Amino acid sequence: MQTGLDRLAYKQYKLAQLLKKLDGVKKQIRAELFLEADEHFAKEHWHLPMTSWLVPWDFFEKSGLTPEEFVKTRFPQWDVESTKKNDEGIVYVLRKKKQFMPWSYENGEYEISRSVAELTPEVDWETMRKVEPNFFERFAKPVQTYELDVDAFNKYMNKHPEFSGASFLMKYSKHKVPTLRVLSKLKKKETDE
């Protein structure tokens, strides 16, 4: 006889299987849509924005970055169309990569789109310190962080058996609210031979 919990377990298992299958279909459809978007920009490349930057020679000398490393870390969503070296430095002419362009398609019933979420860049403080130390001193604000010195903690616990490390850390540890998940799998049936 099936209980209410048996029915819930079965429904949860079937739902998990369906979601897994749907996730695979969703990934395939996304890949096809992104391919359509990329093909659109391949045909109409003039829609891809362009920009240019002059990077002085002394930047490379002081930073230790190569011209290739500079572009790779500063402009990952851009392709180098051309470079021109002159007495001042290197002029990069860049074109946005098609896979990082927003795109949309609509018909009478649906609109689908690809949006691009660019994350906030982080400041390369070490390079700034090397290249322009005066600006580093002016703009860099030290942030002090701490981490547990595990070796010192363990040594102290070994020398002081009365010290409860777990109890001590419990007083000084902040915990986030746990998230709950339901996992389901099909159990293999035992067979009689």
Residue 192 has what pLDDT?
62
Distance of CA 181 to the CA centre of its chain: 23
For residue 8, the one-letter residue type is L
- SS3 of 161, please? coil
Domain locations in the chain as residue ranges:
1-43, 46-170
Q: How many CA atoms lie within 13 A of 145 on its CB side?
A: 3
The winner for highest mean pLDDT among 79-83, 105-109, 180-184 is 79-83
Q: How far apart are CA 164 and CA 140, in angstroms?
A: 40
What are 43-98's pLDDT values in tens digits? 988 999 999 999 999 999 999 999 999 999 999 999 999 999 999 999 999 999 99
Cα(160)–Cα(154) distance, rounded to whole angstroms? Answer: 10
pLDDT of 64: 95
Q: Comparing 56-60, 135-139, 149-153, 173-177, which segment has the lowest mean pLDDT?
A: 173-177
- Residue 160 scores a pLDDT above 90: yes
Counts for the chain of helices (H) and strands (E), in that order: 7, 5
CB count, 10 Å around CB of 128? 16
Give percent of the chain with pLDDT exceeding 90. Answer: 63
pLDDT at residue 150 is higher than 80: yes
Helix (H, G, I), strand (E, B) or coil at 76: coil
Decide if pLDDT at 185 tops 80. Answer: no
Instruction: Return the sign of the alpha-carbon dihedral for residues 178, 182, 184, 190.
Output: positive
How confident is the model over 166-185, as a mean pLDDT?
A: 79
pTM of this structure: 0.69
Whether 193 has a pLDDT exceeding 70, the answer reads: no
pLDDT at 180: 65
Contacts of 85 (CB under 8 A, 6+ apart): 91
pLDDT computed for residue 25 by the predictor: 95
* Phi and psi, residue 178, nearest 5°: -70, 155
Average pLDDT for residues 21-25, to the nearest whole number? 95
Determine which of 30-44, 50-64, 170-184 has the lowest per-residue pLDDT on average: 170-184
Q: Assess whether pLDDT exceeds 90 at residue 177.
A: no
Sheet with 50-56: list strands edge to edge: 50-56, 89-96, 78-85
